[in-house]
Structure 1
């Protein structure tokens, strides 16, 4: 088996006097989807923040494509994160005044991609994901906004795709379509996918489902079903 795109080991971290992680370990391979569930306050979103380098853990290593994110600083961290990690937030976090293609291309432009290439790639991804042309993103439906957010996360060819409650702000029908899209990404784009969710049905779509409890990750009782 090749080296994992995400390798977390010996992760320790406390916030507000509460210890969230103690010797936590996690691996995600290219082409694999992993879901993390757990009670509110257990540290699921904090784990994603550690992977993004937004929070520096008290101890441990967080390697993305073989590089310890926690060891990077400033512009080096920003460049590496932009080129290797894509992030999908619960509410999409799009700039409403910008069109879908502008939102997606902006992520590439910030990474130093030439304008023509950025817009060509953005338009291709949005077409692939079925997002209609619009003058501003505020005119999109909830599902279209999330598909735009996925396109933005993929624009720089990340090895690792992260998603924080990606279906928490959409209706049931849209939830299933967004889940189908997300869990199909590892096979289509040869990236790893790490999803944090409270939704058990969504978690069971992953190749592996883990529970964050007692400061560590453990396998869930039921195995995932993968994309459907």
Structure 2
């Protein structure tokens, strides 16, 4: 679902990635750790096509997004990539249902199908009916964000510190849901996190250091 080759990227004159390599298959999960400023969020932005690297390729579901521009990039991102942000980034004036359905409508799905799919996902993830997303708890908002990321059946699911704003109990519940997604939906899951407990739930754990990805956590201990 994701293949990165020889990725180079500079921000403000500082090299963040030096021929970085990464592979992620469908049905599997990968966590990336690293100190603040190491480039973890920038890497996700490169995968989404929001940051243009200086060199290398980023293939998402078989397409090199570094070669796409404008509407073609937006279409591929909408159809193939789902994103879960740290604070959910929901539209507070909309209900959970409308927040999720809107992502499908923007991707060109007809209204009936968009709302049916949104209801199905919200029900599956245990999100209650509410007039506004502001009426939800932190965990419910994150589950709504996961539903929104899944509504277009993406090949690749990205999550940037998805549990960083949650208490310990809610973090565990959201992590349970998130790491169940690859097997359930046959997507690839790439999670950026500072939390070692969250990272260790992934099939593989890598650390971003000095511009490259290296085994971390149990993978480092096992010499992988």
Residue 77 (structure 1) aligned with residue 68 (structure 2): no
Residue 36 (structure 1) aligned with residue 25 (structure 2): no
Determine the C-alpha separation between the residues in 1 that align with 2:64 and 2:217.
31
Match of 1:109 in 2: 105
Match of 1:87 in 2: 83
Residue 97 (structure 1) aligned with residue 97 (structure 2): no
**What's the TM-score once normalised by structure 2's chain length?**
0.97
Match of 2:170 in 1: 174
Given that residues 6 and 62 in structure 1 are in contact (C-alpha distance below 8 angstroms), is that contact kept between their aligned partners in structure 2? yes
Determine the C-alpha separation between the residues in 2 that align with 1:157 and 1:36.
23
State the 4+ residue runs in structure 1 displaced beyond 2 angstroms. none
Determine the C-alpha separation between the residues in 1 that align with 2:214 and 2:67.
26
Residue 164 (structure 1) aligned with residue 177 (structure 2): no
Given that residues 38 and 209 in structure 2 are in contact (C-alpha distance below 8 angstroms), is that contact kept between their aligned partners in structure 1? yes
Residue 51 (structure 1) aligned with residue 47 (structure 2): yes
Out of 173, 190, 193, the residue aligned to residue 189 of structure 2 is 193
SS in 2 for 1:54: coil
5+ long unaligned stretches in structure 2: none
Determine the C-alpha separation between the residues in 2 that align with 1:70 and 1:150.
26
Match of 1:60 in 2: 56
Match of 2:133 in 1: 137
Determine the C-alpha separation between the residues in 2 that align with 1:152 and 1:68.
24
Determine the C-alpha separation between the residues in 2 that align with 1:150 and 1:111.
17
Per-residue deviation, 1:221? 4.0
- CA offset digits 1:34-65 (Å, max 9, x no partner): 00000110000000000000000000000001
Match of 2:201 in 1: 205
Determine the C-alpha separation between the residues in 1 that align with 2:89 and 2:76.
21
Out of 200, 208, 212, the residue aligned to residue 216 of structure 1 is 212
Given that residues 34 and 195 in structure 1 are in contact (C-alpha distance below 8 angstroms), is that contact kept between their aligned partners in structure 2? yes
Residue 19 (structure 1) aligned with residue 24 (structure 2): no
Per-residue deviation, 1:191? 0.2
**What's the TM-score once normalised by structure 1's chain length?**
0.95
Residue 148 (structure 1) aligned with residue 144 (structure 2): yes
* 1:115-134 → structure 2 map (5 Å cutoff): 115-134=111-130
Aligned residue pairs total 220
